[in-house]
Amino acid sequence: MESVKALNMEQLNKFLGSGKHSSVIIGFNLTSDAFFNMAAYWRDRGVTIEKRDAYFVATTDNSLTTS
């Protein structure tokens, strides 16, 4: 599975929810509140978010459900 770069929140949610990408580069700016809300939402669904170089990267185990 390939990594992709999300340029906005809609793309991030689409890429992570699809299960087609093992990692998604968060390539846009977020406020701290938006970042922590997004991180909490996806953490509950098995996504790990970590800082790599200049970006945060969301990594999934590809067995997600977006209920």
- pTM here is 0.84
- Residue 51 CB neighbour total at 10 angstroms: 9
Residue 61 pLDDT: 78
Helix locations, 1-67, DSSP H: 9-18, 32-43
- Confidence band, pLDDT 50/70/90 cuts, at residue 62: low
Distance from C-alpha of 49 to C-alpha of 26, rounded to nearest angstrom: 9
Residue 65 pLDDT: 45
What residue has token string 């929140």?
9
pLDDT tens-digit map of 11-39: 999 999 998 999 999 999 999 999 999 99
